[in-house]
Chain A
Amino acid sequence: MIDIKNVYKNYGDQAVLSGFDLSIKKGQLCMLLGPSGCGKSTLLKLINRLLIPEAGTIEIGGNPIENIKPELLRRNMGYAIQGSALFPHMRVEDNIAVVPRLMNWPKHKTTARIQELLDLVGLNQSFAKKYPHQLSGGEAQRIGVARALAADPEILLLDEPFGALDPVSRLQLQESFLEIQNKLKKTVVFVTHDVGEAVRMADFLVLMKNGTVVAQGRPFDIVREAEDAVWDFLGNSYTLELLERITLKDLVRNSIPIQEFKNLSELTKFKMNSTCKELLSAMLMNSNSELMVNLGGNVFQFRFEDILTSFGGENQ
């Protein structure tokens, strides 16, 4: 869907991207992970032509972007940034309607779309009439995502969209965003400097440093092929972050609940979408590599080996 070939970009004398190559498939959530100044935001701005590369080509669906009028190109790419940048003088509904109005949608279609999007990002319809200063950081960011999705673009460009949030709202938004993405299957380029966020969400993970790709691939593949450079980059707890991608639903696939257990209330409660990281954490807390848990009313026994096996399975 997005093909970046041999792209060079300098700011003055300083090279930001030198010979950058990347190919992003349709429907993929591609996370660009890297420290500040590695060129990841620059790459986003090159894709929607806010910046023009010194050399190299960027193609969308096989069509070089310089053949498309910049305004039209951008209207077909949703864009959200850190701190949401909602226009303070417009109500939420008008913020969401910016791109549909630029594209001259009929009024009833825009109105319907606003309602649909508020539902999608999990906000009440009463938010439509609010001004951005009346929203919390998390709510504003949800509207930011809704605004990016407004004209139903094929591509989403997100530049640290959850960067300014507290850790709790941040997790909630990541979860909501993954749910939305599972429904809509957009081609997403998501820039972040948060290892946990990148590993948790990526279909395709790109590690960037000094304007080049250090490693790219599915998060589990990157672990398998791990080189020193990758470990230096991600830190040694990277595998723990990967555990967040395995849910208890994956673990119980082959096990049967224990029937004869009576005292459900004594057990730690888990949900089907709880992660292996939480399970491991509970094992550590109980100083036991075997743990009985209450999983939605059923009792399951998990062992540390189950986590190992399942991790190994994902890792194949």
Chain B
Amino acid sequence: MNDKKNIEFWNNLGKKLWIKEIFLLIVLLVLINEFSILELWLKDVLNVEKGFVEWIPLQKLVIQYLIIVLASVLFSSLVGFTLGALIHLYEWKGLREFAIMLGGLGVTFPTVAIMALLVPSMGYGYEPVVVSLVIYGIFPILTATMDGLRDVDQEFVLASRAMGMNKFQVFRKVELPLASPVILAGLRTSTIISISAATIGATVGAGGLGLPIVTGIRTNNPILILKGALPVMLIAMLADLLFYRVEQSKKWQ
């Protein structure tokens, strides 16, 4: 009994002090700044003989990568949410079906192919990557917004209209807050997709953490692959933890 209480106490304290998040962040920062130490050790363990190429510093790759991810998430949530909210508010029934169909189609189309198709018009670099990640990221947010808003218990909508709210007040004060857990789940999915898909961007010259991975595959160098993959993994875990925290922060459920 006492043990159980103790565990609960430390768990709560851990939550309050952001222990997990801070730990992951520190690991990530150390990894980024001191990768050379790990590199030497890995060289011994994996018995890789290849010499090191002059590399763009890992810090720079991480920053490039984060910019690509954040820009894609920002644009896809802006477009996805606005579109979903408008479809809901103005009851565009046909457009709902169309959006779901189009989104479904988009997700089944390989990301690499979209990037490659965009290169001729946009050139090499981060632009085709961001655009294709946005196209991918919109769908989870759009459907989550539409479904979340649609599935709000009509009892509350009726009550708020009966109290004299107009359509937009019902949306802002009742529907949106009640749909927010579903919308947030969509944003989470979209972000995780972007984090992993952004590595493919290296194939069309966007740089970022995909660069060591892609180069590692080409030159058969596991150290390079790990150099890109480990930070990606840590960033994904960190993002997931942060979303979990936001989801837990609401007190009304």
Contacts and interface: CB of A to CB of B under 8 A. Distances in A.
B250 A98 contact: no
Contacts of A55: none
A134 to B, nearest CB: 9
A147 B160 CA distance: 11
A57 interface: no
B178 interface: yes
B246 to A, nearest CB: 15
B178 A85 contact: no
A8 to B, nearest CB: 22
Given A81-B159, A102-B169, A88 B252 contact: yes
Contacts of A170: none
A304 interface: no
B155 A79 contact: no
A89 interface: yes
Contacts of A70: 164
A88 B174 CA distance: 9
A81 B160 CA distance: 11
A275 interface: no
A126 B115 CA distance: 58
A50 interface: yes
Interface in B152-202: 155-156, 158-166, 169, 173-174, 177-178
Contacts of A72: 164
Contacts of A102: 163-165, 169
Interface string A65-107: 0000011111110010101010111100000001100100000
B164 A85 contact: no
Contacts of A132: 252
Contacts of A79: 159, 162-163
A238 interface: no
Interface string A27-49: 00000000000000000000010
B253 A88 contact: yes
Given A89-B252, A131-B251, A133-B252, A81 B163 contact: no
Count chain A CB atoms within 10 A of each CB in B156, B161, B178 and give the residue with the most.
Answer: B161
Given A85-B156, A87-B156, A89-B177, A74 B163 contact: yes
A98 B163 contact: yes
Contacts, number: 61
A253 to B, nearest CB: 43
A87 B158 CA distance: 11
Contact of B253 (A74, A85, A87, A133): A133
Contacts of B253: 88, 133
A50 B162 contact: yes
Interface string B211-242: 00000000000000000000000000000000
A50 B158 contact: yes
A76 B250 CA distance: 32
B155 A85 contact: yes
Given A99-B164, A133-B253, A89 B158 contact: no
Count chain B CB atoms within 10 A of each CB in A71, A81, A99, A147 and give the residue with the most.
Answer: A71
Interface string A120-158: 000000000001110000000000000100000000010
Contacts of A50: 158, 161-162
A50 B177 CA distance: 23
Nearest to B169: A102
A42 to B, nearest CB: 13
A76 B162 CA distance: 10
B253 to A, nearest CB: 7
A133 B166 CA distance: 26
A90 B24 CA distance: 34
Contact of B250 (A85, A89, A99): A89
B178 A75 contact: no
Given A88-B253, A133-B253, A74 B164 contact: yes
B158 A85 contact: yes
Given A79-B159, A81-B155, A88-B178, A131 B252 contact: yes
Given A75-B163, A89-B252, A133-B252, 14 more contacts: A50-B158, A71-B164, A75-B164, A79-B159, A79-B163, A81-B159, A81-B162, A85-B156, A87-B160, A89-B177, A90-B252, A99-B163, A102-B165, A131-B252
Give the 6 A-B residue pairs with the shortest CB-CB distance, closest first: A75-B164, A74-B164, A85-B159, A79-B162, A89-B177, A71-B164
Interface of B: 155-156, 158-166, 169, 173-174, 177-178, 250-253
26 contacts: A50-B158, A50-B161, A70-B164, A71-B164, A71-B165, A71-B166, A72-B164, A74-B162, A74-B163, A74-B164, A76-B164, A79-B163, A81-B162, A85-B155, A85-B158, A85-B159, A87-B156, A87-B159, A89-B177, A98-B160, A98-B165, A98-B173, A99-B164, A102-B164, A131-B252, A132-B252
